[in-house]
Structure 1
Amino acid sequence: MSTLVTREHCLEKFEPPLSPIVTPDKLELPPLRELNELCDSLGYFIKAKCKHLGEVVHAELLLQLDHDLLVGEGFDRSRKVAKGKAASDLLKQLERQKRAGTQLLDDSKEACGATLATPAPVSVTIKKKKGGPRSTLFELWKKLLWPMPTIQPTEHKSSTLMEIGEGAERRKGFTSFVSKITLNVPGYDNIECTGDTRADKKSSMDSAALFMLYKLEQRGKIAIEETLEV
């Protein structure tokens, strides 16, 4: 005797045992991991502070957005759990901002500039060796909790041999690079700098980073104490 089995009948039989299965895309991330992944994707840096208050750990997570500094707090006997609670607090604040549509200072920059005190310039030492200017800029970004700067190198090719760069940086080749850096300083517009033409990508990025540091000094954000050649 043959039996006709419909697709709906199969689903009715198998759906109950299959329903509880959780697929990876449905897994809920721990708050701290979720916050880290979100900030990594957006280019924001999180600074963590933990201190003991008796037997309890007080965790603070600081997140500098384009115009607002958010602070998440958590308390627990466990350092890990306290940081998780602080991350959860920050995620809730970000969700509230998203719902309210608040990056409100975009519409009132002049009023903001009139009321906020100007912070003292940060002292900076620049190493001019390869990678030095970039390291200095990225250390500054982390220290001040600014959004991560973006560097865009552009390659140019020539069919004829050309001289690239000046002085000690002068090279001959068929390929050159120019890099542009964009940096968002909270409370201000984006700052853009284009470096000199260089024979390799990393040197062009260093050139742009060096120009950015000089521009930040001109704007009173940093004070370059020393420039090291090595």
Structure 2
Amino acid sequence: MMLLPLYVHPLVDPEAWDALPRGGACWTIVNVHNGPGAGRDEVYAAATDRLHAAGVKMLGYVDLGYGGRANGEVWCDIVGWAQYPVGGIFFDQAPSDAAGLAYVTQVVRAVRGAVVLNPGTRCLPGYAALADVVCTFEGPWESYTALAPAGRDWANAAHLVYGVPAARLGEASALLLTRAQHGLVTDLAAPLPYEGVPSSLRARAAAR
């Protein structure tokens, strides 16, 4: 399954929002303002309602600050996403060590729907049991190709790979699929690799 963080406002890049895959092959991660924001954003509400009606699956973004955010703040963000038609929560900057395991165990209990954790690196196996998907790699293409071959990752692991040369997106997708069941390859690069969609999705949308 594709995991597609989309951290651009619908009015800033409407073409990116129109290019999102329909159906069950992709989870799009939406992010109003480092989470659901302080109140309902009517532009986001209209955009997400339209996508939901078209069959686009969405997750709401919640930052865990690597375990540094108070549970109450995290729960407020989870509740805030009830204003939008999301099917679960994408927990960014999740901890990956033993100290953070109890913290994550508590916060995921508040979620009704899918749970995706993004520590962005390999974490303790206990985290795999807490989520539908765990992102065990997030980084640039150069780092991804430099990884030593280690066989296939956990069954529910995902890899997020950015900065892929556009001409090598097919190669990158094939490599990812040998390593993980879920993830993303995009030619957008740091520091803002998720402010839009990969060029391959734009091209596919233009050909519809």
TM-score w.r.t. length of structure 1: 0.19
Q: Rg: which structure is higher? A: 1
Using CA pairs under 8 Å that are at least 6 residues apart, name the structure with larger relative contact order, 1 or 2. 2
Of Structure 1 and Structure 2, the greater strand share is in 1
